[in-house]
Amino acid sequence: MNKQLFLEAIIKFILGVLIIGVLLFIPAGTINYFNGWLFMAFLFIPMFIAGIVMMIKAPHLLKSRLNAKEKDGEQKEVVKLSGLMFLIGFIIAGLNYRYGWVDIPNIIVIVGCIIFILAYIMYAEVLRENTYLSRTIEVKKDQKVIDTGLYEIVRHPMYTSTIFLFLSMPLVLGSLISFIIFLVYPFIIIKRIKNEEKFLENNLKGYKEYKKKVKYKLIPFIW
Nearest to 167 by CA among 125, 129, 101, 116: 116
Least confident of 24-28, 132-136, 209-213: 132-136
Confidence check: pLDDT of 137 > 70: no
Mean pLDDT of the chain: 89
Q: How far apart are CA 119 and CA 115, in angstroms?
A: 6
Contact 1, 63 (CB under 8 A): no
Q: What is the pLDDT of residues 89-106, one digit of tens each?
A: 999 999 999 999 998 999
Contact 154, 216 (CB under 8 A): yes
Give mean pLDDT, residues 139-143. Answer: 75
What is the predicted pLDDT for the residue at 8?
86
Q: How far apart are CA 106 and CA 34, in angstroms?
A: 12
Nearest to 62 by CA among 112, 133, 159, 111: 133
Confidence grade of residue 120 (pLDDT, cut at 50, 70, 90) = very high
| Range list of H helices, the chain | 3-28, 34-57, 59-66, 73-99, 106-129, 157-172, 176-182, 185-203, 207-213
What is the predicted pLDDT for the residue at 113?
97
Confidence check: pLDDT of 57 > 90: no
Contact 45, 114 (CB under 8 A): no
Nearest to 164 by CA among 119, 111, 128: 119
What is the predicted pLDDT for the residue at 58?
77
Q: How far apart are CA 23 and CA 145, in angstroms?
A: 38
Q: How far apart are CA 214 and CA 155, in angstroms?
A: 6
% of the chain beyond a pLDDT of 90: 57
Domains and CATH numbers, the chain: 3-213 (1.20.120.1630)
Quick count: other Cβ atoms within 10 Å of Cβ 32?
Answer: 10
Residues contacting 25, CB < 8 A, separation 6+? 31, 33, 36, 94
> How far does Cα 22 stand from its chain's mean position?
20
What is the predicted pLDDT for the residue at 68?
62
Confidence grade of residue 202 (pLDDT, cut at 50, 70, 90) = confident
Quick count: other Cβ atoms within 10 Å of Cβ 71?
Answer: 9
